[in-house]
Amino acid sequence: MSTLSLPSELPIHAAAKEFLRRYGGLTIDVRGEVTISPVECDDDIQHILNARNSDGRDYYPVGRIDDECATCILIDGEANLYLYIAPPGAEAPPWPVTDFKAVIRFAMG
């Protein structure tokens, strides 16, 4: 994880550190390329901050699925994973997924 850049606007928590230690830098090319790197969601930091403020979860970006929606992969402090599509209009909450395999299945379509 030491070679990955981290967004300065969000404090990193232990669950995010552990996830990035295990998977950081990984790229999987499926229907939509999955890249595990927090900076992949830099354009969506404000949306992620809004989601954190609206439901109180400490979401942290850990990667992105480059599909037609540019889906961010988030993790909370309890190590729950979420998919998040930052909408152009109204905010929608992150969508919980069961595990990292579910993230890959989503990316595969």
**Per-residue pLDDT tens digits for 46-64:** 888 888 888 889 999 999 9
Report CA Rg, the chain. Answer: 13
| pTM for this predicted structure | 0.84
Residue 3 maps to a domain: no
- For residue 57, what are the domain limits? 14-108
Beta carbons within 10 angstroms of residue 5's beta carbon = 10
The number of folded domains in the chain is: 1
Give domain status of residue 7, yes or no: no
65: number of Cβ within 10 Å: 25
Is 49 a domain residue?
yes
Answer whether residue 78 is part of any domain.
yes
55-107 residue pLDDT tens? 889 999 999 988 777 789 999 999 999 998 876 655 678 888 887 888 877 77
